[in-house]
Amino acid sequence: MKKWQREIACRFDGEGDATPAVPNAEAAAYEAAIRQLREGAKHALRRPEIADAQFPSFMEGIRESIEAPRRHHRGFWAVLSLSTAALLVALSAFLVFSSGPDKAVTTQVEAATTEIPGATVEKYTNEDGTAVVWVSTAQRDLL
């Protein structure tokens, strides 16, 4: 920056000598350029305002943002947490129902046959809980 330009800038801001150091066309153009720059800067610093005509659109935007459903994040960790919780519930249920004192363990007949010709075999549990395998034969067995 030249000395005469600095003097013009100071004078424009209200500082320094009131008389132009170099009163010519070049200085006048420079001063005009500074004025235009300062006016533009003032305009840029102006705070945004919502005019009355813009307010309905502004509120409509806010309403849409509030009412819009949230995005669901079904990521890996969410699925992992759910799986772990399900497995823990299953494990707890298994331990409770497999070792509970109320579980009835009874004698169980898996299979029953006979080689007596014409005889039949039945398996059942009688009234006192005893497992029974009974062979029914004819009065005289067939040999």
Query: Using an 8 Å Cβ cutoff, are 12 and 34 in contact?
Result: yes
Residues near other proteins (CB under 8 A) are 80, 83-84, 87-88, 90-91, 94-95, 98, 105-116, 119, 121, 123, 126-137, 141, 143
Nearer to other proteins, 35 or 123 (CB): 123
Residue pointed to by tokens 């000598």: 17
Nearer to other proteins, 33 or 88 (CB): 88
Distance CA 13, CA 5 (A): 13
Shortest Cβ 141–other proteins spacing (Å): 6
Q: Pick between residue 59 and residue 132 the one whose CB is nearest to other proteins.
A: 132
* Nearest CA among 38, 39, 8 for reference residue 22: 8
How near is the Cβ of 129 to other proteins at its closest, in Å? 8
Contact, 133 vs 121, CB < 8 A?
yes
